[in-house]
Amino acid sequence: MPHIVETIVTTLNRDGSAYIAPLGLIGEGEHWVIAPFTPSRTLDNLRANPFACASHTVDVRLFAGGVTGRKSWPTVPATHIKGARLAQCVSHWELAVDRVVDDEQRPRFVCKLVASESHAPWSGYNRAQAAVIECAVLVTRLHMLPPEKVEAELAYLEIAIAKTAGPLEIEAWGWLKEKIDAWRQNKGRS
Ligand SMILES: Cc1cc2nc3c(=O)[nH]c(=O)nc-3n(C[C@H](O)[C@H](O)[C@H](O)COP(=O)(O)O)c2cc1C
């Protein structure tokens, strides 16, 4: 199985502003692979400026926000590459694209790690954070999963939210639930 780390990836738009998207980075030896589906802004940005930052944050609103249209978060310039990272993060990686493996559906940007910096102590595992990240992935797959599977996974993840969520996880969960409620209504299931 590949080693995949769920991160907040920042690329630069053509006007130099930062663009934020949650993406899973795939570890391949010394490299990290960014694999955005087509079409996507992250993909276009990487082709125009082959650098990215991957920020590691305990604020899971970034993951929920990234899939519910809330993509505006404070960033600061990267130190070693033409890029930007999250202003609030535990640590971040600065990545430069080494080579691109083209694919019609999902090109792979094979990146070398230029720098890695720490900014804050890591505060440990929390089940509600993991549940929010899982639910954010679920939200991106609503159109391709059987409704019963969506409802079953949601019911399971909700247990961790009920038991361990703090204010950030509750807010993130609310955004995801809104999206799922809209999907339910579109299916006439509410
Ligand atoms: C935890 C997590 C991991 C994700 N990993 C990927 C990924 O590897 N590739 C991808 O294309 N989208 C991934 N997504 C979905 C993207 O974040 C989402 O589709 C985003 O809007 C990308 O499109 P954009 O660059 O046009 O914004 C992931 C979402 C989450 C919540």
Q: What range does the domain containing 11 cover?
A: 3-118
22 in contact with ligand 1, CB cutoff 6 A: yes
Task: Return the H-helix or E-strand segment holding 178.
Answer: helix 167-186
* Pocket of ligand 1 contains residue 65 by CB under 6 Å: no
What percentage of the chain carries pLDDT values higher than 90?
A: 97
What are the pLDDT digits (tens) for 129-164? 999 999 999 999 999 999 999 999 999 999 999 999
- Per the structure, the count of domains in the chain is 2
Indicate if 28 and 114 belong to the same structural domain.
yes
Ligand 1 site, residue 35, Cβ cutoff 6 A: yes
Do 110 and 147 lie in one domain? The reply is no
**Residue 187 in this model has a pLDDT that exceeds 90:** no
Query: Are 39 and 102 members of one domain?
Result: yes
Q: What are the distances in angstroms from CA 186 to CA 23, 69, 142? A: 27, 18, 11
pLDDT, position 188: 52
Residues 22 and 104 in one domain: yes
What secondary structure letter does DSSP report for 37?
A: P
Q: What is the pLDDT of residues 86-129, one digit of tens each?
A: 999 999 999 999 999 999 999 999 999 999 999 999 999 999 99
Indicate if 135 and 86 belong to the same structural domain: no
CATH number of the domain where residue 100 is located: 2.30.110.10
Q: Which residues, 6+ apart, have CB-to-CB distance to 159 below 8 Å?
A: none
